[in-house]
A and B are shown apart, each in its own frame.
Chain A
Amino acid sequence: MAEGRVVGIDLGTTNSLVAYMQGEAPVVIPGADGSNLVPSVVALDPLPAGGGRPTVTVGNTARKALIETPERVIYSVKRLMGRGLEEIHDELKMFPFRLAEDVEAGEVPRIKLGELKFTPPEISAYVLRQLKRNAERFFGEQVTQAVITVPAYFNDAQRQATKDAGRMAGLEVLRLVNEPTAAALAYGLDRAKVGTIAVYDLGGGTFDISILKLKDGIFEVQSTNGDTHLGGDDIDNLLLAIALDEIHAEHGIDLRAHPSAVQAVRKAAIEAKIKLSTEPSASFNIELPNGDRYQREIPRAVFELLIEPILERTAGPCKQAIADAGITPEEIDEVVLVGGSTRIPAVRQLVDQIFHLAPRGKKPHIELNPDEVVALGAAVQADILAGDSKTTEEMLLLDVTPLSLGIEALGGTVARIIERNSTIPASATEHFTTGVDGQTNVAIHVVQGERELASDCRSLARFDLKGIPPMSAGLPRIEVRFLIDADGILQVTAREQRSGQAAEIEVKPTYGLTDEQVEGMILDSFDHAEEDFAKRLLIEARNEAETILTAVERAPQNPAWALLSGEEQAAISAARGKLEAVKLGSDPAAIRDATLALDQATRRFAELMMDAAVTTAIRGKTMGVAGEELGDAVTAPHAMAPAEFK
């Protein structure tokens, strides 16, 4: 097996990122547009005129389509991952998810996107594939293995759905890592080796709290809790609902019937929310379809009052996690904040209260960008899994299962077999027997959750132990082994002990795709073929070479050229000559190397070319990045993000 790189992926509700370990530090891999964040938005382009399948776009371009063609765009799909039809009703009220009409109970819901229908894992697969491509473009080589993060409080079905998405995107998912734990890994690299830390992770759509003990490089999770449907989205939706109600009341227009208008208001709500993290007040100023304007001032105090009930929902899980870890808030040495929503000052105040920070002279950690820290941690875990790394060889993550695993017992009650917060992998062995003479199968219902009744827990799977040799009632002794693996996913095996026969079991997940279904959904498998990949790589490398060559050709016309020394000019010419020479060859790596060499040779020229005002902002960056950041203001030599090639 090829030992390629393993990347770390944060598949977020709002944004997704891919990162890798660059020497001793994790770094985020930027996309072709130079941006580290890929919005988790997927859009379907208009049908091609000549027929055929329309193209799918991901990220910033897809987000732009949100206002023009909202019916062809989907976002926040993470909220639907691993959930059944009846579970997503509430989400459907808040999001413009258009469910396909022909979905039957027990099936994985399909979402309409223009003319086509996709399951949530497929939508996520498109996002993952974009990240995979960004990484491949960056490394100049194929990437097939990844670590993907999931909310710690994700259940079995949500985890399985995420893994399925990875497979559809052509990625072997080496491990699912819990997001707060990943964040702890990112922080733990250069931190004191012993202590108890709490990670408070309020993202776009999910909330997690995890408490870990650090000792000699071992990150041992003590407890975790959370809410997989609580995050910045809820704040956006609250502001949106208020604005829509006010518009209806004041202007007599019900915008809910106008999807594009709703998206415009939603965009304004998000902007207001973000502004309120730094400003004392924000305002709505939106033109309505009838030409009226909706204007509204929101002081921060009012905003904080509005969102208090949402934020308060994070307090309960925190207290439970602290109690489950068997400690008091005072025993927590450090608190780490993760997720974009932790930029809200009211969230920081709440965290301060819950963990008694200010009285102890402590502050939560925000040194690492809360949008990036999970991806950085995923890269650290990827490095651990890849092995052979001096930086991470002493590190090991011991995570827990967030929810208790149980089986439905007589009377619909739950018999717990693996308690929540058990270190994974964890297992339990149970024995079952028959109730009727000659009975040859026994039905077992596995659930996940903390409630007393099976009907109040999340149904994971139902299965039949088949092929039990006919015996008198109570005589067969079937041993069933439940094992939660290191990804937090359940595996079941069974054996009849008296006859020594392995009982046949077919574990049918209550929701989820079958292996065959996943296989059929693997995204255009042809473009993963070796040959195609090499071709694509060569074309991309040539394009990048062309771009920089065109720019360098024009360079002498720029006044900045005269400021270069003769040596510098000669170095540029030499690098240019080299690239011209290899450009026509068929080795993408050689072309990329030469492109990079030319980019570096022109670094000082790029700096000189910028006017003094912007020089400070881009110091130390290559021309490629500087050009992107400055947009059209500067004729950058080429539009390629800095890349490290092997």
Chain B
Amino acid sequence: MFKVLDSAVPIACWSCSVGHVESTLFCPHCSKIQPPSGSDFFHVFGLDHLFTIDLEALETEFHRLSRKLHPDRYARAGEIERQWSLADTALLNDAYRTLKDPISRTEYLLKLEGAEIGEEFSGKDRAANGKDPSRVPADLLEEVFDLNMQLEEMRMARKMGEEDPSLTASLTDAKKKFDILMDAVDQDLRRQWQVWDSGDDAVRAVSQKKMVALLDRRRYLNNLVRDVTETLGA
């Protein structure tokens, strides 16, 4: 899924034939745009594999690279340059989109580091998620059970054209509570970023497991909040 474009990296520049070892966006010899290399999203921005990112610097670099790579800069260039501009910019945009969002960045880096992550972020098994009791975090089992009952009641009432203010109030309360739990997860995640970023291999292995678990919990809470919001807003 996260495999970056792996069009064969040419050993030589397509234009001037001068070889280059390092993967590079522009040929050091003739300055022509080069095809995307097999580099990961962090590498695109010249960043190390760290969870903590300076978002402002990321945006500045994104804008700087966009100015150089964007297809608008190659609208009247030759076929090959237009092709690489398109491919490079797609990679740049995909990288920026993934890295600027803290959750997708965390998932991405964990995958790069070999962790197994649920597939949910692309919306794939949305229907299955949250409905499968075996995946409910243990400390939330009871509340989730109550919540699902209330959601069901609410939907039934809506169908009959009725409004139950007490039900609405209790669902709103539940949503607030889950929002707070989400915030707590986010804070925990941020703490783990620091632990991992500054830790050695042993520390990282432990931290990684914690982050995977936190992401699972977060995904679960996220689905709950979304269900409640959708039902309340319907």
A binds B: yes
Chain A positions near chain B (C-beta within 8 angstroms): 1, 3, 145, 174-175, 215-216, 218, 220, 381, 384-387, 396-398, 406, 409, 413-417, 419, 422-431, 452, 479, 481, 483, 485-486
Q: B70 at the A/B interface (Cβ < 8 Å)?
A: yes
- Is A426 a contact of B72 with CB atoms below 8 Å? no
**Chain B residues numbered 100-137 whose CB sits less than 8 Å from any CB in chain A:** 122-124, 126-127
| Minimal beta-carbon separation of B154 from chain A (angstroms) | 20
Residues of B within 8 A of A430 (CB): 1
Chain A residues, Cβ within 8 Å of B97? 422-423, 426
Given contacts A215-B63, A396-B66, A483-B90, whether A174 and B123 have CB atoms under 8 Å apart is: no
Q: Which residues of chain B have C-beta atoms less than 8 A from A3's C-beta? A: 76
B220 at interface, CB cutoff 8 A: no
Q: Please tell me if B75 contacts chain A, counting CB pairs below 8 Å.
A: yes
Determine how close the nearest CB of chain B comes to the CB of A154; give it in whole angstroms: 18
B3 at the interface (CB under 8 A from A): yes
Chain A residues in 8 Å Cβ range of B93: 422-426
Q: Nearest chain A CB to B180's CB is how many angstroms away? A: 20
Say yes or no for B35: interface residue by CB 8 A criterion.
Answer: no
Residues of B contacting A: mostly: helix
A218 to B66, CA, bound (A): 9
Q: How far is the CB of B32 from chain A (nearest CB, A)?
A: 16
Tell yes or no: B86 within 8 A of A by CB.
yes
Establish whether residues A486 and B76, one from each chain, have CB atoms under 8 Å apart when the complex forms: no
Q: Give the most central of B3, B67, B87: most A CB within 10 Å.
A: B67
Q: A218-B67, A425-B86 are in contact. List 4 more A-B contacts (CB 8 A).
A: A406-B123, A423-B97, A427-B90, A479-B3
- Kindly provide the distance from the CB of A348 to the nearest chain B CB, expressed in whole angstroms: 28
Q: Which residue of B lies closest to A397 (CB)?
A: B72
Write the nearest CB–CB distance from B69 to chain A, whole angstroms: 10
B91 within 8 A of A: yes
Complex-state Cα separation, A2 to B3, whole angstroms: 40
Residues of chain B with a CB closer than 8 A to A483's CB: 86-87, 90
Given contacts A218-B66, A386-B76, contact A425 B90 (CB under 8 A): yes
User: A486 and B124: CB pair below 8 A?
Assistant: no
Residues of A within 8 A of B90 (CB): 425-427, 483
B153 at the interface (CB under 8 A from A): no
Contact A385–B96 (Cβ < 8 Å): no
The smallest C-beta distance from B38 to any residue of chain A, in angstroms, reads: 12
Question: Which A residue sits closest to B91, measured CB to CB?
Answer: A427
A396–B87 alpha-carbon span in the complex (Å): 18
Q: Could you tell me the distance in whole angstroms from the C-beta of A611 to the nearest C-beta in chain B?
A: 50
In the bound complex, residues from chain B placing their C-beta under 8 Å from that of A429 are 1, 3, 5
Our pick among A220, A396, A415 for the contact of B122 (Cβ within 8 Å) is A415
Q: Check B150 for interface membership: any CB of A closer than 8 A.
A: no
Cβ of B188 within 8 Å of any chain A Cβ, yes or no, is: no
B5, B76, B89: which contacts A481 (Cβ < 8 A)? B5
B residues within 8 A CB of A416? 122-124
Q: A174-B75, A396-B70, A425-B71 are in contact. Are A452 and B86 (CB under 8 A)?
A: no
Per-residue CB contact flags for chain B residues 133-160 toward chain A (1 = under 8 Å, else 0) read: 0000000000000000000000000000
* B173 CB-CB contact with A under 8 Å: no
Report how far A479 CA is from B6 CA in the complex, Å. 11
Please report the C-alpha to C-alpha distance between residue A174 and residue B71 in the assembled complex, in whole angstroms. 10
CB distance from A70 to the nearest CB of B (A): 41
- The reply on B163 being an interface residue by CB < 8 A is no
Q: Which of B48-88 contact A (CB under 8 A)?
A: 59, 63, 66-67, 70-73, 75-76, 86-87
- Flag if A415 contacts B123 (CB, 8 Å): yes
Q: Decide if B72 touches A396 in the complex (CB within 8 Å).
A: yes
Interface centre among A384, A398, A483 (most CB of B within 10 A): A398
- Report A-chain residues with C-beta under 8 Å of the C-beta of B127: 413, 452
Query: How far does the alpha carbon of A536 sit from the alpha carbon of B7 in the complex, in Å?
Result: 49
B183 at the interface (CB under 8 A from A): no
Closest CB pairs A-B (n = 3): A385-B75, A425-B90, A427-B90
Asked if B75 and A396 sit within 8 Å, CB to CB, the answer is no
Q: Cβ of A417: which chain B residues have Cβ within 8 Å of it?
A: 122
Ordered by A's residue number, 5 sampled pairs between the chains whose C-beta atoms are within 8 Å are A175-B75, A218-B66, A396-B63, A416-B122, A416-B123
**Residues of A contacting B91 in the complex (Cβ-Cβ under 8 angstroms):** 427
A216–B59 Cα distance when bound, in Å, is: 12
CA distance A422 to B70 in the complex (A): 15
**Chain A: minimal CB distance from B226 (Å):** 12
In Å, the complex CA distance between A397 and B94 comes to 17
Nearest A residue (CB) for B59: A215
Q: How far is the CB of A565 from chain B (nearest CB, A)?
A: 49
A48 CB to closest chain B CB (Å) equals: 41
- B-chain residues with CB within 8 Å of residue A396 when the two chains form the complex: 63, 66-67, 70, 72-73
- Pairwise interchain contact A409-B124, C-beta atoms closer than 8 A: yes
| Bound CA span A1–B97, Å | 36
Q: Which residues of chain A come closer than 8 Å to B71, judged between CB atoms?
A: 175, 425, 485-486
In the complex, what's the smallest C-beta–C-beta distance from B112 to chain A, in angstroms? 15
Assembled-state Cα–Cα distance A174/B82 (Å): 11
Report the bound CA distance from A398 to B66 in whole Å: 8
Give the distance to chain A from B98, nearest Cβ to Cβ, in Å.
10
Chain A residue numbers with a CB within 8 Å of B87 are 483
Closest to A429 in B: B3
Residues B63 and A216 in contact, CB atoms below 8 Å apart: yes
